[in-house]
Amino acid sequence: MNIPLNQFEQIIDETILKRGLDYFRKGLVEEPEELSPGLYEAIVQGSEPYRVTVTIQNEIVTDYSCTCPYDLGPVCKHVVSLLFALHGDSIGIKVRGRKASTAPKAPTEKKAGPKTVKGQIDEILSKLSVEAMAGFIREQSMADPAFRRRFLAEFTATVKGESKAVYAQQVIAILQSAKGRGGFIEWNRAGSVGKAVYGLLLSAKKHLGTKNYQTAMLISCAVLEEMVKALQFADDSDGDIGSCIEEAMENLWQAAASKLPEEQRKWLFDYVTTAFRKRLFEGWDWHLDMMRLATEVAKEKQEAELLLKLLESVPHSEYEADRAREMVLLVLRKSGQHEEADAYMARHLKDPAIREQAIKQAMDSGDLEKAKDLARQGILQDKKDKPGLADRWADFLLQIALKQKDRESAIAHSRYLLGQPNRDHQQYYKILKSQVYQGEWSAFVDGLIKEISERGNWIDTHMLAWLCIQEERWKQLLETISQHLTLTGIREYEPYLAKRYPEELAALYQNGILELLDRGTGRNHYQESARCIRRMKKIGAVKQAEEFVKQLQQKYPQRRALLEELEKV
């Protein structure tokens, strides 16, 4: 999100803001550097050193990043600490015991001042001899393994001898350096592995951008193989290793989707089919992903024949068998074997994905009766053991009814699907409203509400409340939540009722609180009760809330923790 630099204290979460300010005041933010116009970087000392960058354009923070693992919100405390370092002087906040920071700022009008880091580097490079530069790179490569790996990943392609093994050795070296006793990588070291390997993958991504597909694929395949092996001797609780594998797969998919030169297309096809035959990734989804990649890049008839043969060996589980059948169908279509594909589809309609393809194919060709039969057969097949799948086929019947302008069937299917869980209720509600005659709508809704009310489970209660909101039947909504819902449910629907029925809503809160306190004790129960009393005040039932507090104080004089929470109300 974009953050105005002079308003970031009002926008960022208060807890994160306080933590970031504390980091800044303690001097944990190293002097920020301006890498290029508007791009600032600093190292922030947290549980380990984190690299933080922010981009500022016209006094607006347009981008930011941090190498910490925080993912519970858009901005972490380390980014906030850098914002204070850049803007702290202007709002009167300084590091304890230190003079005002001389770090570069980002004024609205850029004044002449120190060159950016990029400017300084460009100036040095323009005057540096090739021999001096080569000496520095050689020395740095020997001293810094991360720099060495990045350098090799970027430039190995410029010399002869480039191979997957060269890049695999780099990954292996990273893994070896992280191993502890017994050759195991603990979870707290898996993160450093992920960061180092991700550097190689960034190089691969860069090679994809310059259409150097071979190098990109070699790096990605090396990462894929070695990191999958690493899962056997590493604790990847945080997903650092797995995310590198997924990134490597994404690189291969990006290459497959590109217009690969023929030699490189064949190389990728040979690699993924060989990996499948050798079962390099067996036991993981990546095993079948190899075949899916192969179907993407296959072109020649003999390649299609090989894929069909390999896919015969797949089925080890229902899931794998389903995926294999989908790929067989794709190979047959791509290779122009349409009659064989149709026959194969007809034989494997128990596979949901294939049945769906068959229905869509019939609809696209205008054979709506065939599509309808396929959907009905699916419902009969799946309604007992796979009700969610049966609802998918019912959705197709609805689409067909709309195409055929069959009003009665469209209403029947929409009405059924509206009451099912995990469906797009808004979609079915709109269809019903468009199909039911306006003069009949109110009575139709009455019948729908009665039907849902009589079922009476938790899901239907929320469905009923949702329908009351759509129809603005506020009295009926109040009755629904008063009969079926707990404090959480009351809070959820409070915005719709607070102005219309404040006293009735306050009474519901009171009843819910009394039930909660009767069921159990504990600080969390008491805090929840106090929160709900504050809700009573907020909706206007101030006197009712104050009297209720007195009632609770008299009823539970021995519950000291409750009395403390009530004092805060």
Q: Is 26 helix (H, G, I), strand (E, B) or coil?
A: coil
**Most confident segment among 27-41, 61-75, 80-94:** 27-41
Q: Is 31 helix (H, G, I), strand (E, B) or coil?
A: coil
**Is residue 108 very low, low, confident or very high in pLDDT (cuts 50, 70, 90)?**
very low
Mark which of 104, 122, 140 sits at the end of a domain. Answer: 122
**Is 55 a member of any domain?**
yes
Average pLDDT, the chain: 88
Tell which wins on pLDDT, 405 or 67: 405
Give the side-chain half-sphere CA count within 13 A for 366: 0
Q: What percent of the chain has pLDDT over 90?
A: 59
Q: How far are the Cα atoms of 116, 475, 482, 538, 546 from residue 510, in angstroms, in the given order?
A: 62, 19, 12, 14, 12
Sign of CA dihedral 19, 20, 26, 30: positive
> What is the structure's pLDDT at 552?
94
Q: What integer is the mean pLDDT of 323-340?
A: 92
> What is the structure's pLDDT at 310?
93
Query: Measured between alpha carbons, how far is 10 from 8 in angstroms, rounded to an integer?
Result: 5
Q: Is the pLDDT of residue 114 over 60?
A: no
Query: Which residues lie across from 52 on neighbouring strands?
Result: 42, 66
Using a 10 angstrom Cβ sphere, with 0-12 exposed, 13-18 middle and 19 or more buried, the burial of residue 96 is exposed
**Most confident segment among 101-105, 113-117, 175-179, 303-307:** 303-307
**Most confident segment among 34-38, 66-70, 267-271, 283-287:** 267-271
**Is 10 a member of any domain?**
yes
Q: Is the pLDDT of residue 140 over 90?
A: no
Can you state the angle between helices 474-484 and 502-519, rounded to 10 degrees? 10
Q: What integer is the mean pLDDT of 108-127?
A: 69
The pair of three-digit structure tokens given for residue 41, joined into one six-digit string: 């970087």
Instruction: Please tell me the least confidently modeled range out of 93-102, 258-267, 532-541.
Output: 93-102
Sign of CA dihedral 339, 340, 343, 345: negative
> What is the structure's pLDDT at 109?
45
**Is residue 487 very low, low, confident or very high in pLDDT (cuts 50, 70, 90)?**
confident
Instruction: Please tell me the least confidently modeled range out of 232-246, 249-263, 513-527.
Output: 513-527
pLDDT tens, residue by residue, 156-184 = 766 666 789 889 988 998 998 889 888 99
Domain residue limits at 109? 3-122
**Is 28 a member of any domain?**
yes
**Is 92 a member of any domain?**
yes
**Is residue 47 very low, low, confident or very high in pLDDT (cuts 50, 70, 90)?**
confident
| Closest C-alpha to 451, from 467, 438, 439 | 467
**Is residue 105 very low, low, confident or very high in pLDDT (cuts 50, 70, 90)?**
low
> What is the structure's pLDDT at 302?
94
pLDDT tens, residue by residue, 1-25 = 688 888 888 888 888 999 999 999 8
Question: How many domains is the chain built from?
Answer: 2
Q: What integer is the mean pLDDT of 363-390?
A: 96
Q: Is the pLDDT of residue 111 over 50?
A: no
**Is 479 a member of any domain?**
no
Sign of CA dihedral 161, 165, 168, 174: negative
163-197: b or e for each residue (b if 16 or more CB lie within 10 Å)?
A: ebebbbebbeebbeebbeeeeebeeebbbbbbebb
Alpha-carbon dihedral angle through residues 91, 95, 98, 103, given to the nearest 10 degrees: -70
> What is the structure's pLDDT at 485?
73
The pair of three-digit structure tokens given for residue 480, joined into one six-digit string: 């629904």
Q: Is the pLDDT of residue 98 over 70?
A: no
**Is residue 95 very low, low, confident or very high in pLDDT (cuts 50, 70, 90)?**
low
| Closest C-alpha to 103, from 121, 120, 90, 122 | 90
What one-character DSSP code corresponds to residue 260? -
**Is 73 a member of any domain?**
yes
> What is the structure's pLDDT at 161?
67
Alpha-carbon dihedral angle through residues 134, 137, 139, 144, given to the nearest 10 degrees: -170
pLDDT tens, residue by residue, 429-450 = 999 999 999 999 999 999 998 8
414 touches 423 (CB < 8 A): no
Mark which of 93, 122, 151 sits at the end of a domain. Answer: 122
Q: What's the order of all strands across the beta sheet hosting 3-4? A: 3-4, 60-66, 49-57, 39-45, 33-36
Mark which of 72, 87, 122 sits at the end of a domain. Answer: 122
**Is 424 a member of any domain?**
no
**Is 115 a member of any domain?**
yes
493-519: b or e for each residue (b if 16 or more CB lie within 10 Å)?
A: bbebbbeebbeebbbbbbebbeebbee
**Is residue 107 very low, low, confident or very high in pLDDT (cuts 50, 70, 90)?**
very low
pLDDT tens, residue by residue, 454-485 = 876 655 788 889 999 999 999 999 998 888 77
